[in-house]
């Protein structure tokens, strides 16, 4: 194999890697400057012909499955660029028969280290919210995030990452089919309700996700920075508590 062919093969392998991280555009020059390597017509065609679509789902979304089967199916997911950077995929934790599903944004550093959602400072606050205000043991609810892998430096989730990862959350909700959903913060609330309305206007009012009552509130990480907002979250959690422990069907206050 001559040098040019070797370089072209390495380049194709590199592009395949990029493709698995959902990179779908790369500027291509005919000549790679300093080494003066010219790709042949066939090699250029091979590269241009690469299918740059998002990798397919690792399960059939129409198939009935258990939560554990879903977890096993996605454990090696590389559908978006976050997959190559994680230590652990954070699927979610809690009861598969949970009456309440709590949805946050994405794992942070501690969650990425342990593979468990909400175990850092914000997680400790969430545990207190669940156990002291809603008055339910944490292990009885199911806690997860929109994104299952940590964005670098805890930056906001990007649109392509959410669209790659959301089928997993949809399937989790379909399997668990909870009595109600609590969303934490802007990203989870806006995604679930398919709305651009700011979280300050969404919070504290019941909406519906496929017929399941859903209450948005502020994210515990936001409360750590803005403790004065805790009183609003406390009010929201009391609404969750009332529905959780009774047969009350909440009135849908936001029809988005």
| Contact residues for ligand SF4, defined by CB under 6 A | 74, 77-80, 82-83, 89, 147-149, 161, 164-165
Of 87, 90, 80, whose CA–CA distance to 158 is shortest?
80
Which residue in 218, 208, 187 sits closest to 256, CA to CA? 208
> In this complex, which beta carbon is closest to ligand SF4, that of residue 11 or of residue 57?
57
CB of 107 to ligand SF4, least distance (A): 9
Shortest Å, Cβ 134 to ligand SF4: 28
Cβ at position 80, least distance to ligand SF4 in Å: 3
Beta pairing, strands 180-184 & 212-217: parallel
Q: For ligand SF4, give the closer residue by CB, 77 or 215.
A: 77
Q: How far is the CB of 176 from ligand SF4 (least distance, A)?
A: 18
Q: Which is nearer to ligand SF4, 74 or 243 (CB)?
A: 74
Question: For residue 134, what is the DSSP state?
Answer: I
What six digits make up the tokens of 122?
Answer: 């914000």
**Rounded to the nearest whole angstrom, what is the least distance from the CB of residue 129 to ligand SF4 in the complex?**
25
- Closer residue to ligand SF4 (CB): 122 or 164: 164
**Residue 39 or 162: which CB sits closer to ligand SF4?**
162
* Residue whose CB is less far from ligand SF4, 148 or 203: 148
Q: Encode 66-86: b = buried (16+ Cβ within 10 Å), e = exposed.
A: ebeebbebbeebbbbbbbeeb
Distance CA 143, CA 137 (A): 12
Minimal distance in Å, beta carbon 162 to ligand SF4? 9
CA atoms within 13 A on the CB side of 189: 24
Output DSSP code: residue 154. Answer: G
Beta bridge partner(s), residue 212: 209
CA dist., res. 70 & res. 72, Å (int): 5
């Amino acid at each position: 194999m001559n040098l040019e062919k070797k370089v072209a093969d390495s380049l194709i392998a590199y592009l395949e890697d990029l493709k698995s991280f959902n990179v779908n555009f790369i500027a291509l020059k005919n000549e790679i400057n300093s080494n003066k390597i010219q790709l042949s017509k066939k090699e250029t065609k091979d590269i241009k012909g690469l299918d740059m679509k998002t990798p397919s789902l690792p399960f059939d979304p129409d198939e009935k499955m258990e939560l554990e089967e879903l977890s096993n199916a996605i454990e090696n997911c590389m559908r978006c660029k976050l997959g190559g950077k994680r230590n652990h995929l954070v699927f979610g934790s809690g009861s598969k028969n949970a009456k309440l599903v709590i949805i946050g944004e994405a794992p942070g550093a501690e969650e990425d280290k342990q593979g468990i959602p909400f175990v850092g400072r914000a997680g400790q606050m969430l545990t207190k919210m669940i156990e002291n205000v809603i008055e339910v043991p944490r292990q009885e609810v199911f806690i997860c995030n929109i994104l299952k892998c940590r964005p670098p430096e805890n930056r906001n989730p990007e649109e392509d990452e959410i669209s790659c990862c959301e089928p997993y959350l949809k399937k989790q909700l379909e399997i668990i089919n909870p009595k109600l959903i609590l969303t934490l913060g802007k990203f989870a609330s806006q995604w679930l309700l398919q709305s651009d309305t700011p979280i300050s206007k969404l919070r504290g009012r019941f909406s519906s996700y496929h017929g399941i009552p859903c209450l948005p509130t502020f994210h515990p990480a936001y409360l750590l920075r803005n403790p004065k907002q805790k009183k609003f979250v406390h009010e929201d959690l009391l609404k969750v508590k009332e529905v959780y422990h009774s047969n009350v069907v909440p009135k849908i206050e936001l029809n988005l």
